[in-house]
Structure 1
């Protein structure tokens, strides 16, 4: 089971690490998109979200307080879904469909992250192939 969880952690973390790379290396482009969505201070917000994605993804990937990593990703996913992918504000059917797809992706990933938070807390230090156990004890 440890190998399955490790593979799952790797697969779950990879997209977030790719997103982090985009936020941190294509900051101007990403900030332009954030600005078009009405986000205040788009460049600092893009950099901050890139750091959240990087720290959260690495935490889960490496198994270092993976529960904290999941929380960092939730701090990114929920606001991003609601602010950046507000499909109900789109005027065109194509725009609405594209944003709905991203919105649902973020909400689905947030649901998976909540399950991982419960899983990491439940299993605790018994989960192998991690550097640390969970930081939080959620009962």
Structure 2
């Protein structure tokens, strides 16, 4: 089971590594989207969030406080869902549908991150970690 847990957390965290890379290499383009959502200091927010999710993803993959790493992704995902994928404000049915899909994706990923947190913070904490759980 240790290997399966490792594969699961690598597959899960790979999504955030890719996103972090995009935040850091396409900060100007992403800042334009963030500015459109009225986020203050959008470029800085994009860069900080890129470093934040990248660090959490690396920690989760390597098993460095994997419980903390998984838990750190939850606020990012919930805030992203609410602030950026506000389907309830969209007038166009197509835009509403697309934002609802993205909202549900982020909420589902937040649930998965909570599941990883529970797994790694529990007594059943699977091995193959560089550093054990913090909690």
TM over 0.5: yes
Deviations along 1:14-70, one digit per CA (max 9) or x if unpaired, are: 000000000011000011011111111111110111011101111111100111111
Residue 127 of structure 1 contacts residue 133 of structure 1 at CA under 8 Å; is this kept in 2? Answer: no
In 1, Cα distance between equivalents of 2:90 and 2:49? 23
Alpha-carbon offset, residue 127 of structure 1: 2.1
**What corresponds to 1:135 in structure 2?**
134
Residue 77 of structure 1 contacts residue 110 of structure 1 at CA under 8 Å; is this kept in 2? Answer: yes
In 2, Cα distance between equivalents of 1:51 and 1:62? 16
**What corresponds to 2:40 in structure 1?**
40
CA RMSD of aligned residues (A): 1.1
Q: Does 1:109 align with 2:109?
A: yes
Kindly tell me the number of residue pairs found equivalent between the two proteins. Answer: 135
**What corresponds to 1:88 in structure 2?**
88
Tell me, which stretches of 5 or more residues in structure 1 are unaligned? none
TM-score after normalising by structure 2: 0.96
**What corresponds to 1:5 in structure 2?**
5
Which structure is richer in relative contact order (CA contacts within 8 A, separation 6 or more)? 2
**What corresponds to 1:20 in structure 2?**
20
